Amino acid sequence: MVARIVSKKRYSVVLVTYGEVERLSVRALWPSSRKIIFVITRKIVKLPKLLIYMIADYRSAKHYLDWKLHRYRSRLVEITRKQALGVEAALRRNPRFAGDADEIAVADAYYFVPPYLEEVLDRFRGCSDGIVVVPMFPVESAFSCGPACQMVIDHFGENHLGALRVARGLWKDEVLHRIYLDHLFASLPPDWKGAGKKEAQGLVLVIHGTIVRNRKGEKPTVFTGLDETMEFFRLMREKIMADPRNVFGEVKLGCLNHSRGGEWTPETVERALGEFAGEGVGSTAMFPFGYFADNSETDYEAKKLLDHSPAHRKHYIPCINESPAFAGWLASRIAAEIEALDVQREVFAVGQSVK
């Protein structure tokens, strides 16, 4: 009897996010700002090419002066790189990828700084039986996950389902909610855990805002993720308020908006902080639940708003970042995506790989 030989498969995983420059310089900011305008801003406002360059150069100079003045350094790329290592280590503990079983490789990639997503996809394309792309945002929209989906189509064509899968709907996962709750309450200083009975304490859950109406006052034609954002907040607020560890009298949504393209979500960080001040809440905490890694929008822009708020006691809770529990959960989600990709390959690629 001849034993059937089962060939080893090789899978590649790409964790992708926006990306921010690690070493601050105007030269490094220029290409990043131009990519942001080309990839994101043009989905909202139609701009001529010359104006794109002018806006990007202005944006680069502004950020350089602002970050330099306040000695801010983005850790987004550093954190995402560590997340990729943590996820790969967790996947290698999965029996499917342990020892002489199937091979797995995890890489980080970015929309706006090197290594660019399109380059990483090209690198994996010739040596993988399947690729899973994971946009590192809980809630998907045309502005967060949209660029990844577009790049996948650009590189693999409309028949990409036989080669690649993009993870979606991470915000719905109850395991993620539990990890968030554990992280949130474990990150509070000891003096917050009993003070809620003596004074009012509030929590602002921060997420990137989105467009509600375009410049014509109409519903946007692109997918904004507005309903998903509001539902994610509703779920997390309910779970926080119901948790026996809860010390907060109220939880409010705080959106970080842009200023162009139309009407953005009105539930801003500034509004939440102002409402807490008006309600006499003396202690305010902030947690960016809409981000998987700290970046200039969270630990700089949002934190600066918290620091300047009237609350006499303030506490910023970092994003989930390099949490081992988060890496383990994401690895389990990716393993499930690979199982689904195996089915897709049989249906759409008739057994062919992307090699």
pLDDT tens, position by position, 330-343: 999 999 999 999 99
Q: Token pair of 207, please?
A: 């997420």
Assessment of whether the complete model's pTM goes beyond 0.85: yes
Measure the N-to-C terminal CA separation of the chain; round to a whole number of Å. Answer: 32
**Residues 115 and 210 both lie in one domain:** no
Residue 312's domain spans which residues?
188-316
pLDDT 10s digits, 8-52: 899 999 999 999 999 998 888 877 777 766 666 555 556 666 666
| Distances in whole angstroms, Cα of residue 225 to Cα of each of 36, 66, 169, 333 | 19, 30, 11, 21
**What CATH number does residue 289 fall under?**
3.40.50.1400
The mean pLDDT value of the chain amounts to 88
pLDDT category at 148 given cuts 50, 70, 90 is confident
Domain count, the chain: 2
pLDDT 10s digits, 237-273: 999 999 999 999 999 999 999 877 789 999 999 999 9
**1 within a domain of the structure (yes/no):** no
pLDDT category at 1 given cuts 50, 70, 90 is very low
**Residues 129 and 270 both lie in one domain:** no
Quickly list DSSP for 300-325.
Answer: IIIHHHHHTSS-SEEEEPPPSTT-HH
pLDDT at 31: 77
**178 within a domain of the structure (yes/no):** no
Three-class DSSP category at 132: strand
